[in-house]
Amino acid sequence: MDVKNALENRKSVRAFLDKAVPTDLINAVLEQAKNAPSGVNTQPWQVAVITGETKQKLGKKMEETFRSGTKGEMDYQYYPLDWQGAYKERRKACGLLMYSTLEISREDRARQTDQWAANYRAFDAPVMLLFFMDKVMETGSYLDYGMFLQSVMLSATEHGLSTCPQAALAEYPEIAREVLDYGDDQMLICGMALGYEDTDHLINSYRTEREDLDKIVRYFD
Mean of pLDDT values over 43-55:
98
Contact 129, 47 (CB under 8 A): yes
pTM over 0.75: yes
* 37, 144 Cβ separation under 8 angstroms: yes
pLDDT in tens, 28-47: 999 999 999 999 999 999 99
Tally of domains in the chain: 1
Q: Which domain holds residue 177?
A: 3-78+119-206
Q: Is residue 37 one of the residues assigned to a domain?
A: yes
Please report whether residue 220 resides in a domain. Answer: no
Q: Find all residues with CB under 8 Å of 202, minimum gap 6, and list them.
A: 101, 102
Q: What is the CATH number of the domain that holds 195?
A: 3.40.109.10
User: What pLDDT score was predicted for residue 194?
Assistant: 98
Taking the CA atoms of residue 168, residue 173, residue 175 and residue 179 in that order, the dihedral angle to the nearest 10 degrees is 110
Of all residues in the chain, the percent with pLDDT exceeding 70 is 100
Looking at the domain assignment, is residue 112 inside a domain? no
Residue 185 has pLDDT above 90, yes or no: yes
| 129 part of a folded domain | yes
In a domain, 30, yes or no: yes
In a domain, 160, yes or no: yes
Confirm whether 102 is domain-assigned: no
